[in-house]
């Protein structure tokens, strides 16, 4: 069989490495997903070992090449989770486990940075300061891990680290740089005042390029370990979210919702938009911008609930049966899914998950449905916020690992009050990175990019469910508002309990192996 031309896309997500082959016909030839673990503590530390990224990358590519039809790989395209920080030493080895974007260390430091510059940080960076971004984590390292801070030669993100392993080149792209709280999105350059405040030298941050550039070629060493030919061009690509916006095919008057470990709502705009709790960053397409806001955990919350309760909801079919067994509103159970905090709001920096309305008559299935509805309520709040700053929203286009569940898509249509569209390709981050490579190879034009991933299924709101969810959303907002005074007390209580338990409240997991 003659080998067809293909692009190998590597998507380094929060939970897994995806290796996918896309052909010149803009179709998926084959894909492999290999999960890797996260280390999570009750105190909100969330780490990953960079060596796990390399290990699963090699496994995924080996399986992919063994299972896929014969293909001649013309280019490698990259995308990854954003904001996760990898301090790297002079020997190019990690100095400690990577601090994930989910990690809550750096909350206080990010707030102090905002105060020091009298609110100009968001004006410069497009981000509402929070623990997710590198600046707060670097300041935390300076205070709590001076040994790491002193030895850090580079501060990388996952895609940067993989790029170096593949090609020996150190570089990042402006969609990742823009998620550090150190980058000026107006000038597309590192902001000197912020670097100085964090005591970070320009030489410690990778050079910034367009996501559409090829940066380096596959080294002989990496090629031998992956079973590929050396010299294949490596396209830098972008962060997972802007790649998803491109790959989803989202149209004007649509918002893209991506749901996997976390959930996010995003859209493309023609200019920088700065609004309450929203973030704005450069797109993977030159001259375009992404407006977005998300929640820190969605699929992770569902995974936690079903695992804790041993509820039968590990797969799409089982979850659909659970949803069919419990009606809208989960018999009055209401959850705040803020298990890893609330993004974009300094007023809820100490937010945690809360479950209310329980009685002895409720079953595990009620909590599973309440978890999904709570994610929908939090995303509806994001959607309402975005309506103030972007053009009329007539539909939500869903992508990501959790969007294959039809029952949840139907539920979301009623929660949002607009149709939910599911495109043909749901792995939108990998597909977006591929489309950048496809355009570089001449397989697709700029004009065709928006139409290559059409809507495959549409879900419309149910009027009866909308009435229940209207009342539920009002209760949800009141629940969250009422917790704002209680969360700081719970945080103080947690810290006291952790000290009494001998676990400490800062920096435990970070001392594990790198």
Look at residue 513 in the predicted model and tell me its pLDDT: 41
Distances in Å between the Cα of 340 and the Cα atoms of 142, 348, 473, 494 are 23, 11, 21, 14
Continuous segment of H or E residues that includes residue 214? strand 214-217
Backbone angles phi, psi at 23, to 5 degrees: -95, 175
Scan for tokens 């209401």, then name that residue.
334
In the three-class reduction of DSSP (H, G, I as helix; E, B as strand; rest coil), residue 161 is classed as helix
Q: Which of the 8 DSSP states describes residue 392?
A: P
- DSSP letters spanning 117-152: TTTHHHHHHSS---TTSHHHHHHHHHHH-HHHHHH-
In angstroms, the CA 178 to CA 182 distance is 7
Contact assessment for residue 290 and residue 242, using Cβ atoms and an 8 Å cutoff:
yes
Nearest alpha carbon to residue 73 among 432, 428, 437, 430: 437
In angstroms, the CA 437 to CA 24 distance is 10
Query: How many residues comprise the chain?
Result: 514
3-state helix vs strand vs coil in the chain, percent to 5: 40, 20, 35
Q: Are strands 16-23 and 28-35 parallel, antiparallel or unpaired?
A: antiparallel
Beta strands in 36-82 (DSSP E): 39-40, 46-48, 71-80
Nearest alpha carbon to residue 8 among 32, 39, 44: 32
Q: Mutual orientation of helices 240-248 and 428-440 as an angle, nearest 10°? A: 80
Backbone angles phi, psi at 64, to 5 degrees: -60, -50
In angstroms, the CA 50 to CA 150 distance is 20
CB-based contacts of 485, cutoff 8 Å, min separation 6: none
In angstroms, the CA 20 to CA 31 distance is 4
Look at residue 349 in the predicted model and tell me its pLDDT: 65
Distances in Å between the Cα of 300 and the Cα atoms of 9, 38, 40, 71, 134 are 24, 11, 12, 35, 22
Look at residue 318 in the predicted model and tell me its pLDDT: 73
In angstroms, the CA 162 to CA 78 distance is 9
Contact assessment for residue 303 and residue 295, using Cβ atoms and an 8 Å cutoff:
no
Scan for tokens 């996918």, then name that residue.
20
pTM of the complete model beyond 0.85: yes
CB-based contacts of 405, cutoff 8 Å, min separation 6: 316, 319, 320
Per-residue model confidence as pLDDT tens for the chain (514 residues): 577 899 999 999 988 999 999 999 999 999 999 999 888 887 778 899 999 999 999 999 999 999 998 889 999 999 999 999 999 999 999 999 999 988 888 888 988 888 899 879 999 999 988 888 999 999 999 999 999 999 999 999 999 999 999 999 999 999 999 999 999 999 999 999 999 999 999 999 999 999 999 999 999 999 999 999 999 999 999 999 999 999 999 888 899 999 877 788 999 988 898 877 789 999 999 889 999 988 877 877 888 888 887 765 556 667 777 778 889 999 999 999 988 777 655 556 678 899 999 999 999 889 999 999 999 999 999 999 888 888 788 999 999 877 777 888 999 999 999 999 999 988 899 999 999 999 999 999 988 888 899 999 999 999 999 999 999 999 999 999 999 999 989 988 988 888 887 755 454 444 444 4
Look at residue 344 in the predicted model and tell me its pLDDT: 54
| Six-digit token string for 188 | 């597309």
In the three-class reduction of DSSP (H, G, I as helix; E, B as strand; rest coil), residue 424 is classed as coil
pLDDT digit string, tens, across residues 295-328: 877 877 888 888 887 765 556 667 777 778 889 9
Look at residue 314 in the predicted model and tell me its pLDDT: 53
Distances in Å between the Cα of 232 and the Cα atoms of 72, 185, 215, 439, 462 are 10, 31, 11, 16, 50
**Number of helices and strands in the chain (H, E):** 17, 24
In angstroms, the CA 331 to CA 268 distance is 38
What is the torsional sign of CA 431, 435, 437, 442?
Answer: positive
Cα Rg, the chain, nearest whole Å: 22
Look at residue 503 in the predicted model and tell me its pLDDT: 57
| Six-digit token string for 349 | 């920096």
Look at residue 347 in the predicted model and tell me its pLDDT: 53
CB-based contacts of 125, cutoff 8 Å, min separation 6: 178, 181, 182, 183, 184, 185, 191, 194
In angstroms, the CA 8 to CA 234 distance is 10
Scan for tokens 């003659």, then name that residue.
2
């Amino acid at each position: 069989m003659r080998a067809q031309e293909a692009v190998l896309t590597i998507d380094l997500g929060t939970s897994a490495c995806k290796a996918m082959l896309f052909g010149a016909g803009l179709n998926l030839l084959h894909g492999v997903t290999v999960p890797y673990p996260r280390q999570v503590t009750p105190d909100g530390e969330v780490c990953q070992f960079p060596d796990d990224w390399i290990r699963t990358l090699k496994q995924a590519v080996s399986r992919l090449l063994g299972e896929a039809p014969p293909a001649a790989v013309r280019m490698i395209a990259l995308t990854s989770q954003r904001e996760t920080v990898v301090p790297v030493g002079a020997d190019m080895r990690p100095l400690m486990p990577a601090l994930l974007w989910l990690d809550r260390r750096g909350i206080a430091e990010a707030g102090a940075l905002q105060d020091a510059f009298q609110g100009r940080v968001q004006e410069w960076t497009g981000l509402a300061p929070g623990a997710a971004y590198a600046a707060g984590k670097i300041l935390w390292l300076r205070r709590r891990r001076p040994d790491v801070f002193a030895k850090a030669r580079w501060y990388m993100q996952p895609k940067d680290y993989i790029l170096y392993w593949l090609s020996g080149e150190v570089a990042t792209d402006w969609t990742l740089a823009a998620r550090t709280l150190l980058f000026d999105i107006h000038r597309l350059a590192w902001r000197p005042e912020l670097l100085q405040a964090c005591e970070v030298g320009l030489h410690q941050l990778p050079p910034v390029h367009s996501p559409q550039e090829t940066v380096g070629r596959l080294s002989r060493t990496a090629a031998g370990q992956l079973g590929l030919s050396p010299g294949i061009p490596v396209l830098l690509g972008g962060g997972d979210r802007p790649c998803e916006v491109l790959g989803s095919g989202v149209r004007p008057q649509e918002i893209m919702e991506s749901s996997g470990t976390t959930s996010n709502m995003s859209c493309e705009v023609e200019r920088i938009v700065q609004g309450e709790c929203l973030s704005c960053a450069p797109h993977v397409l030159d001259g375009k911008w992404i407006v977005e806001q998300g929640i820190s955990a969605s699929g992770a919350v569902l995974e936690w609930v079903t695992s804790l309760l041993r509820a039968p909801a590990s797969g799409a079919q089982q979850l659909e049966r659970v949803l069919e067994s419990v009606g809208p509103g989960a018999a009055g159970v209401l959850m705040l899914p803020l298990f890893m905090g609330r993004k974009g709001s300094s007023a809820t920096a100490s937010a945690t998950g809360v479950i209310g309305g329980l009685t002895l008559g409720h079953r595990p299935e009620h909590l599973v449905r309440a978890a999904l509805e709570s994610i929908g309520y939090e995303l509806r709040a994001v959607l309402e916020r975005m309506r103030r700053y972007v053009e009329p929203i007539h539909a939500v286009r869903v992508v990501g690992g959790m969007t294959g569940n039809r029952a949840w898509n139907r539920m979301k249509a009623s929660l949002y009050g607009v149709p939910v569209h599911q495109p043909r390709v749901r792995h939108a981050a990998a597909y977006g990175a591929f489309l950048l490579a496809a355009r570089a190879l001449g397989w697709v034009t700029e004009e065709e990019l928006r139409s290559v991933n059409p809507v495959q299924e549409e879900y419309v709101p149910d009027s009866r469910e909308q009435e229940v969810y209207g009342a539920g959303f009002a209760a949800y907002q009141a629940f969250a508002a009422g917790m704002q005074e209680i969360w700081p007390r719970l945080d103080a209580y947690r810290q006291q309990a952790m000290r009494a338990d001998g676990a400490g409240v800062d920096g435990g997991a970070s001392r594990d192996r790198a």
